[in-house]
A and B are shown apart, each in its own frame.
Chain A
């Protein structure tokens, strides 16, 4: 059965800290891994990763995929209170089925 596991489940840090969130997966015929940030409502798209070792970067956020070890990490540097959210990882497997399997998310709280 396809599975996506995120760790840690929750994390409390202070402003300025750097955090690393983990997403490991077991899916059939991996196609892509997506990271989302969810505050009060809809998940906001952050990154899509398809190839190992290629870092995606947007401001203080970056992410990388390891297809051999079946995981991805999301790094946030110089955290701010506005980074407080749930970070979701979703993996699409089995070519063309549009079926994204979500992990349970990491709840990040950044204290001022």
Chain B
């Protein structure tokens, strides 16, 4: 099973709203990722958690706040977003550790629209 699930599938929010995106995997992966993908562009890395600790933050604005409550769950808290933040938000996971490179699997994504 190589399934990563994400909820919700679609989200429309105003610029003053607070919302959260959720990602879950049960593959025992210890690295989890958030990517942002705009139309006709490749995914852009936002955050990486390894062993539930934030290991990469690609200079993402503070209106995006990641959280990894346990090894299976990854959240992205959203607050005071701008219309240009509208995009497909993808979660991914992989095994972790420096021993070997690992395959990375994506969830179906959340299509976010900021009005």
Give the B-binding residues of A (Cβ under 8 A).
Answer: 31-32, 34, 36, 41-45, 48, 50, 88, 90, 92, 95-100, 102-105
| Distance of A50 Cα from B44 Cα, bound (Å) | 22
The answer on a CB contact under 8 Å between A105 and B107 is no
Which residues of B63-115 are within 8 A (CB) of A? 88, 90, 94, 96-98, 101-109
The answer on a CB contact under 8 Å between B101 and A102 is no
For this complex, into which size category does the number of interface residues on chain B fall?
A: 20 to 34
The answer on a CB contact under 8 Å between A96 and B94 is no
**Interface residue from A44, A99, A102 paired with B42 (Cβ < 8 Å):** A102
The answer on a CB contact under 8 Å between A41 and B88 is yes
| Distance of A100 Cα from B43 Cα, bound (Å) | 10
The answer on a CB contact under 8 Å between A48 and B101 is yes
Contacts of A95 in B (CB 8 A): 98
The answer on a CB contact under 8 Å between B45 and A100 is yes
Q: Which residue of B lies closest to A48 (CB)?
A: B103
